[in-house]
């Protein structure tokens, strides 16, 4: 059965989209990804679309859905590697990607997510301090 | 034109194989990857085949070729994510992957490559020491 692989790298999950998405594949990806976030406790999802030459409303909605699902499971989604022509088409078609941030490439996306995870972690650190004092 | 994306992550390049390889695609991947190693000075290449269900002699040779080319350009290749059934088939068919190391998943492959790069860098470090003394 055709599946899009999900690679775990530390606290992040990486998905590279290389093939034409269709309904069943998109559903499988959503199921696999949510299951994987839940199992690994990942805080970030990187979706690389550097091989994608056409982002239509179907793919746009799929990405927005994935981001929404991930957010509920406490993971941020960053879309990386968008080709310039795709960005042009998205704007011309008036397509938006609600709730999805973008970064130029995987490295910058990882940096963005890691900075977010770090900035949201002090709560845990101060709780630990409290325990040490108590 | 169909291409397999190559993702740069620090000192490493990551290639995820998701589609059926054919001659032209394999050639394009070899060209893209060698060009990318040369341009970025990457010291490691991770090839993820977790989505590949059949590794035949064609794919085996392609991977061995990529590893040989990368080695000449001073980059190590690690094959990651092999499905258990693929490992069984490789041994049963007597296929070997000369010059290619394997790791269970991307994380372990990255750790392996980073350990190698670190262990091969002391030469540079001692030269730097020499300069400081001189």
Q: Do B50 and A7 touch (CB under 8 A)?
A: yes
Q: What is the pLDDT of residues B4-51, one digit of tens each?
A: 999 999 999 999 999 888 889 999 999 999 999 999 999 999 999 999
User: What digits encode the pLDDT tens for the residues A1-13?
Assistant: 578 999 999 999 9
Are A107 and B50 within 8 A, CB to CB?
A: no
The pLDDT assigned to A3 comes to 85
**Interface probe with A: pick from B3, B4, B5, B52, most Cβ of A within 10 Å:** B5
| Complex-level ipTM beyond the 0.85 threshold | no
Long-range contacts of B16-19 (CB under 8 A, 24+ apart): B16/A5, B16/A7, B16/A16, B16/A18, B16/B48, B16/B50, B16/B51, B17/B47, B17/B48, B17/B49, B17/B51, B17/B52, B18/A4, B18/A5, B18/A16, B18/A18, B18/A19, B18/B51, B18/B52, B19/A18, B19/A19
Residue-wise pLDDT tens digits, A89-112: 999 989 888 889 999 999 999 999
**Residues in chain A with pLDDT values less than 50:** 124-134
């Amino acid at each position: 059965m055709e599946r899009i692989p999900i690679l775990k790298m530390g606290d992040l999950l990486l998905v590279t989209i290389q093939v034409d998405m269709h309904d069943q594949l998109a559903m499988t990806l959503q199921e696999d990804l949510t299951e994987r976030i839940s199992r690994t406790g990942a805080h970030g999802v990187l979706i690389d679309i550097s091989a994608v030459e056409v982002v239509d409303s179907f793919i746009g909605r799929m990405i927005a859905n994935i981001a929404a699902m991930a957010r509920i499971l406490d993971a941020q989604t960053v879309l990386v590697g968008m080709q310039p022509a795709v960005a042009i088409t998205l704007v011309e078609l008036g397509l938006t990607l609600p709730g999805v941030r973008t970064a130029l490439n995987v490295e910058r996306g990882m940096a963005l997510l890691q900075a977010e995870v770090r900035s949201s972690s002090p709560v845990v650190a101060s709780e630990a301090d409290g325990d040490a004092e108590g």
